[in-house]
Amino acid sequence: MLDDRIRCAALRGKITSAADAAQLVRNGMRVGTSGFTRAGDAKAVPLEIARRAREESEPLRITLMTGASLGNDTDRILTEARALERRLPFQVDATLRRAINRGEVMFVDQHLSETVELLRDNRLGALDLAIIEAVAITETGGIVPTTSVGNSATFAALAQKVIVEINLAQPLALEGLHDIWSPAARPGRAPLPLMRVEDRVGTPCIQIAPEKIAAIVITNQPDSSSTVLPADADTALIAGHLVEFFQHEVSRGRLPKQLPPLQAGIGTIANAVLSGFAASPFEALTLYSEVLQDSTFDLFDAGKLAFASGASVTLSAKRQEQVLNDIARYRDRLVLRPQEVSNHPEVIRRLGLIAINTALEADIYGNVNSTHVGGTHMMNGIGGSGDFARNASYAVFATKSIAKDGRISSIVPMVPHCDHNEHDVDVIVTERGLANLTGLAPRERALTVIEHCAHPLYRDILRDYYRDAAALGGHTPHRLDAAFALHTRFAQTGSMLP
Amino acid sequence: MLDDRIRCAALRGKITSAADAAQLVRNGMRVGTSGFTRAGDAKAVPLEIARRAREESEPLRITLMTGASLGNDTDRILTEARALERRLPFQVDATLRRAINRGEVMFVDQHLSETVELLRDNRLGALDLAIIEAVAITETGGIVPTTSVGNSATFAALAQKVIVEINLAQPLALEGLHDIWSPAARPGRAPLPLMRVEDRVGTPCIQIAPEKIAAIVITNQPDSSSTVLPADADTALIAGHLVEFFQHEVSRGRLPKQLPPLQAGIGTIANAVLSGFAASPFEALTLYSEVLQDSTFDLFDAGKLAFASGASVTLSAKRQEQVLNDIARYRDRLVLRPQEVSNHPEVIRRLGLIAINTALEADIYGNVNSTHVGGTHMMNGIGGSGDFARNASYAVFATKSIAKDGRISSIVPMVPHCDHNEHDVDVIVTERGLANLTGLAPRERALTVIEHCAHPLYRDILRDYYRDAAALGGHTPHRLDAAFALHTRFAQTGSMLP
C-alpha cells in the first residue's frame, strides 16, 4: 500500500511508530522540523516528544527550530510539557507566547531567510535531528515535502539524523510542486540564478544520503487550517487605497502597467489586501511571497494571477479541501521553495518586489513595530517582513488605524519597538488613507502620516505632539519625556485616549 | 596640454569656466554630483551655484544628491547661500547639519545602495543635471572618475545634461582602477555576476552619449583630506576584542582561517579597528567596503591585505600624497565601484561579509542608533551601514562605552532612534569587551551587553533598569516610563549620571 509513498524499498524497513521515533531525542538536542505558517508541519513525533517530557522523570528540553509557525497545537503542547528550552525563528501560539513573555522559553526572533545561513555556518550549534513531513520518499531516497518547504531542505542536509513523517492526508499530487535549491557554502557561492517568478532552479525533492533517514512514521492528518478572518470594510478600504496608489504610480511612470511581483505577509490584512486586487484593473499579476493564502487562489480563480511562488500554502478549511482535491488545476502556475529562496535579499532586490506586510503600529515618522505589544510583549515575530522590506522596491506596511474600539491608536508618536525603520518603509496605509514616504524628510513624513493614516480620534493628539516636538528642533523631532505617553496611558487606564 | 585629459577632440570645445557652467542650473532643479566621503567631489561648479544663490535676486534652491559626503566645504557654502532645498543621501557638514536640524533643509537619510534605484524608477523625480569629477574623458567620450565612483555612473546616465570637471590634481594614473557596472532596469534584471572581491564585471569608465556633456570645467585641487583621528588606547582595545573574537570563531569552526571579506564604515573607530588587524595573525585579508581609508594602505604595507574593493579612497593628507604618487604600487590590488555595487545586498550576502560599523549608541538588547543624537538631532546619516548590517554574515557595531568624560553612556536602556535592530546586530563591541548576540534571546542579550560592553560607571544603572523591567515581564522587558531616563537626565543636567 505504501509502495507509491516510499519508493525506495530499502527504506521501508525504517517504518516505526511515532513513539519509537521520538526515542531518538535526547535532552538538550537541537531539533529542526518542517512547518511554515501551520502548513506541512511534522504532526506526530513532536507530540511524542511532548509526551516523553511530561511522563519521564528526567528532563527532556530541546531547542526547536522550524520554518515558521506550526499548526496542530504543537507549540502549545510542547510548551505545556516544558519541552522547549529555546525556540526559533517564529511562532504564533498563545501558550508559547505567554511562556516567552515570562522568560521561560528563550525565543530567538529571526529574519526567516537567515536561520539556515547561521546553521550552515555552525553558529547555532550542530543540528541533531530533523523531522520532516513528506508526501513520499523517491526511489533514490529523496524527500518530497508537502504543503511547505520552509527550512526543511537545509535541516535535512545538516542534521545528523532525519525522521520522515509520511502524511497520507497530503495528496501525492503535490509532488512536482517544489523547487529545492540551497546556496553553496561561502566562500565560492554563485549567484542565485532565479530571474523570473516562475523560474525553477533546483530539484523537485530534498536529496540526502538515504542512510541518514533513521525512522519513517506514517501519519494521516490534514494541516491545521488558516485562522485568517474574512475581509471587512476596513481591509477593503486599505486594499482600495493600495490599488489606487499603484495605479497612480503606473500613471506617473514609476511602475510598469504589468506590476512587479507582489509579496504579502501572513494574516488577515495582507490576505484581504491581495484579495482586493481581484477587483483591480491589474492583469497577469505574479506573487513572489512566503505564504500563499486563500487570496492566492481567489486571484487565480478571478483570472488575475499568472503565477505564484511561495514557501508554503496555508488555507482555510474550505479552500484547503478544494485546492488539494483539485491541485492539477493550479500546479503549472505554482512553485514552493525553501524560505531562504522565497525570502532571499538577492532575488527580492532583483525582482523589485512590492512587499505588503502588516504593522502592529507605526509612528509618525514611518518606523514600524511588527512584533512587540507595548514594546515589550512578543506577539509572533518579525517573520519575513524584514527580508522583504529592506530589499523590496516598495515596502508597504498596512494596519487598521485603531484597535480595541479606538482605545488603541496604531499610529503613535514613537514606536516602542522598531522592526522596520524610516529607511526601509516606503508606504504606510490604513483604512483612513495612504502615506507615500518615498523621498520625504521626517518632518514631511510626520505631516502626511498624521493627516492620511491616523484615525480622527487621535489626529489632534498627534498634531500636538509633533508641534511641541518640532519646536524643540531636530531632524526627527521628539519629546523623549512624552514619546510613549499614549502607551503608558493605555497601560494605566486601558485606553490611549485622555 | 589637455590632449591626454580630453581625448575626445570633439569635446574640447565644451571647455568653459565654472561660472558659465553653473548657468545651466535653474531654481528647483535636481542636481547629482560626484563625491563619496569627501573623495572625488565636484569642486568648482557647486561653489558657483552657491555664488549665484548668494548674489542673484531670484531664488536658486536645488535638490542636491551625491554619493555620500562632500569635501571642500561645499555643503557648508551651499547651506550658507541657502541654495539647498533638499539633500540626500548623506552628509557630514556641521553647518548643513544645523540647518537640517532646524528643519530648513529637507534631508533624506537613505541606504546608500538605494538612491539610484529610486532615481532609475523615477521615484525621486527626473535628474536635471549631473556634475562629475573626472581624471579624463576617453576617445569615445567615456568619463573616467577620480577617487570615488559613488553614484556618478547612474547620475551621468540619467541626467539630462552632464558637466564634467577635469581635475588636474588627480593623477591620470587613476585610470583603470574603476569598474563601472549598473544593473539593468527591472523587470528582466540579471544576477550581479561578482563572485570574488577582485572580480571586474564592468567597464573602466562611465560611457554616456558624448552629446550629453554640456560643459567641461578644468580644476586643479586635491581632495579634502580625511578627518579621521589616530587610533587611541580605547580603539586599540576594541580592535583587540574583535581580533580575539574572530580567532575564537575560527577555532570553533564558524569561520574559515581565511576570513571572509571585511567591510568597515567611515570614521575613526572603524579605521582604527581595521588597522588593528595589521598586528593580528590573519593573513591575505580582503576588503569589500565603501570607503578605503588610511587603514587599507596600512594593511597593504603590512603585507596583510590581498585585495581591496571600495566606492572611494579617502585619506589623510600625508597618505593621500603618498598613495596618489605611488598608485602603481597598489593598483593591481584595488578596484573602485559604484556604491550600488559596493553596497549591494546581493553581493554582501553572497560573500558573507564581516561588516564593522560605528554606533552612536546601542541598547541593552542590541538595537543601534547610528544617526540621531538624543534621538532627534541628525549627526551624519545611516550611510551604508544598513546595506551591510542586514545582509552581512557578521554585523558588528563598535563604540566607545562612554563619551564626554563619562557624562554619556553609549550603552542605554533603549535607543531613542533605531537604525539597526536586534534582528540585524550580531556583535556589540566597546573598549570594555564584546557581546556576541548570535542566537540569543533578548533577556540573554541584555545580560551580556551590560556585563561585557557597558562602562562600570553605568553597569549598576543598567542592571537596575533591566531587573525592574524584567519584573514586569515581556520578551524584551522595558519600563516605558523610564526607558529614556538617561537621555532626559542628560538633557536636563548635562550628564546621564545621577
Model confidence at A227, pLDDT cuts 50, 70, 90, reads confident
Average of per-residue pLDDT values in chain B: 97
Q: Could you give the CA distance from residue A77 to residue A49 in angstroms, rounded to a whole number?
A: 10
| Radius of gyration of chain B, Cα coordinates, nearest whole angstrom | 23
Q: How far is CA B429 from the centre of its chain?
A: 20
pLDDT above 70 (res B413): yes
How much is the ipTM here? 0.97
Q: For B434, phi and psi rounded to 5 degrees? A: -130, 135
* Cross-chain Cβ contact A440/B108 below 8 Å: yes
Closest residue, chain A, to B422 (C-alpha): A419
Closest CA to A359 of A296, A288, A412: A412
Q: Could you give the CA distance from residue B220 to residue B165 in angstroms, rounded to a whole number?
A: 10
What are A163's strand-pairing partners? A131, A215
Detail the residues of A annotated as belonging to a binding site for CoA. Answer: 380, 384, 404
Average of per-residue pLDDT values in chain A: 97
The C-alpha cell of B240 is what?
583587540
Q: Is the pTM of this model over 0.95?
A: yes
pLDDT above 80 (res A327): yes
Running DSSP on this structure, what letter comes out for residue A255?
S
Q: How confident is the model over B184-226, as pLDDT tens digits?
A: 989 999 999 999 999 999 999 999 999 999 999 999 999 999 9
SS3 A89: coil
Decide: B141 and B11 in contact? Cβ < 8 Å: yes
Cα separation of the two ends of chain B: 67
* Cross-chain Cβ contact B86/A441 below 8 Å: yes
Number of Cβ atoms within 10 Å of the Cβ of A252: 10
Closest residue, chain B, to A257 (C-alpha): B187
Q: What SS3 string covers chain B?
A: CCCCCECCHHHHHHECCHHHHHCCCCCCCEEEECCECCECCCCCHHHHHHHHHHHCCCCCCEEEECCCCCCCCHHHHHHHCCCEEEEECCCCCHHHHHHHHCCCCEECCCCCCCHHHHHHCCCCCCCCEEEEEEEEECCCCCEEECCECECHHHHHHHCCEEEEEEECCCCHHHCCCECECCCCCCCCCCCCCCCCCCCCCCECCECCCHHHEEEEEEECCCCCCCCCCCCCHHHHHHHHHHHHHHHHHHHCCCCCCCCCCEEECCCHHHHHHHHHHHHCCCCCEEEECCEECHHHHHHHHCCCEEEEEECEECCCHHHHHHHHHCHHHCHHHEEECEHHHHCCHHHHHHHCCEEEEECCEEECCCCEECCEECCCEECCCCCCHHHHHHHCCEEEEECCCEEHHHCEECEECCCCCCCECCCCCCEEEECCEEEECCCCCHHHHHHHHHHHHCCHHHHHHHHHHHHHHHHHCCCCCCCCCCCCHHHHHHHHHCCCCC
Q: Of A165, A175, A290, A361, which is the active-site residue?
A: A290
**Mean of pLDDT values over B293-299:** 95
* Cross-chain Cβ contact A423/B386 below 8 Å: yes
Return the residue in B123, B307, B370, B419 with the most chain A beta carbons within 10 A, the one to mutate for interface testing.
Answer: B123
Place of cell 526572533: A109
Cα separation of the two ends of chain A: 67
Return the residue in A368, A376, A419, A437 with the most chain B beta carbons within 10 A, the one to mutate for interface testing.
Answer: A376
Q: Determine the residue type at A268.
A: T
> Domain A2-219: what homologous superfamily?
Glutaconate Coenzyme A-transferase (3.40.1080.10)
**H or E element in which residue A32 lies:** strand A30-33
Decide: A116 and A149 in contact? Cβ < 8 Å: no
Model confidence at A147, pLDDT cuts 50, 70, 90, reads very high
- Distance of CA B83 to CAs A292, B2, B8, B493, B496, Å? 50, 32, 33, 37, 38
Return the residue in B127, B285, B349 with the most chain A beta carbons within 10 A, the one to mutate for interface testing.
Answer: B349
Angle of CA points A142, A143, A144, to nearest 5°: 115
pLDDT at A1: 65
Clarify whether A290 is annotated catalytic: yes
* Cross-chain Cβ contact B189/A377 below 8 Å: no
Residues forming CATH 3.40.1080.10 domain(s) in chain A: 2-219
Q: How confident is the model over B221-254, as pLDDT tens digits?
A: 999 999 888 889 999 999 999 999 999 999 999 9
* Cross-chain Cβ contact A484/B483 below 8 Å: yes
Q: Would strands B372-373 and B377-378 be described as parallel, antiparallel, or unpaired?
A: antiparallel
Q: Could you give the CA distance from residue B170 to residue B177 in angstroms, rounded to a whole number?
A: 13
Place of cell 517504518: A15
Closest CA to A321 of A135, A171, A144: A171
Percent of chain A clearing pLDDT 90 (strictly above) = 97
Q: Of B48, B165, B175, B290, which is the active-site residue?
A: B290
pLDDT at B185: 86
For A41-55, A218-232, A282-296, B396-410, which range has the lowest pLDDT when averaged over its residues? A218-232
Decide: A39 and A223 in contact? Cβ < 8 Å: yes
Contacts of B94 in chain A (CB under 8 A): none
Contacts of A254 in chain B (CB under 8 A): 121-123
Residues 6+ apart with CB under 8 A from A6: A12, A15, A136, A137, A166, A216
CATH number of A233-493: 3.40.1080.20
pLDDT above 70 (res B1): no
Decide: B408 and B402 in contact? Cβ < 8 Å: yes
Q: How confident is the model over B5-56, as pLDDT tens digits?
A: 999 999 999 999 999 999 999 999 999 999 999 999 999 999 999 999 999 9
* Cross-chain Cβ contact B390/A390 below 8 Å: yes
Q: How confident is the model over B430-474, as pLDDT tens digits?
A: 999 999 999 999 999 999 999 999 999 999 999 999 999 999 999
Residues forming CATH 3.40.1080.20 domain(s) in chain A: 233-493
- Distance of CA B41 to CAs B148, B165, B289, B317, Å? 8, 9, 19, 16
Q: How confident is the model over A164-213, as pLDDT tens digits?
A: 999 999 999 999 999 999 999 899 999 999 999 999 999 999 999 999 99
Is B141 known to sit in a ligand binding site? no
pLDDT at B267: 83
